[in-house]
Amino acid sequence: MKKYKVVWTFTAKKDLEDIIEYISKDSIEIAIEKYETIKNTALRLDKYPEQGRIIPELLDQNIRKYREIIISPWRLMYKIEGSFVYVMAVIDGRRNIEDILLKKQLR
């Protein structure tokens, strides 16, 4: 089985920091739990990078190189390049994803 290296982009790291900071205002314990869940989900991409679906909003634009895994309510977005999996963003799925993606310039 091929093993991939999972790399967090600056944007994705910032997204995760913002999420954890926001949650920690209510509960440090829940913030830690969510952090571990998100990080562990991303780590599993080292063996199974194609487990996520192609992002539907981008598929509508015929862009197929970005995938996502839902960690409700967040969407962990990534791309596979060679032997690397780049975590591109962690976005709240309740927000308008197309606007967020345009701002983040995932394309």
pLDDT score of 59: 83
As a whole number of Å, the end-to-end CA separation of the chain is: 30
Rounded to two decimals, the pTM is 0.87
Beta-sheet strands, E only, within 1-107: 5-8, 53-54, 66-71, 74-81, 84-92
Per-residue pLDDT of the chain (107 residues; tens, 9 = 90+): 789 999 999 999 999 999 999 999 999 999 999 999 999 999 999 999 999 999 988 888 888 999 999 999 999 999 999 999 999 999 988 776 666 666 665 44
Measured over the CA atoms of residue 18, residue 23, residue 27 and residue 31, the dihedral's sign is: negative
Domains of the chain, by residue range, sit at: 5-104
Q: Which fold has domain 5-104?
A: YaeB-like fold (3.30.2310)
Residue type, 16: L
pLDDT score of 23: 96
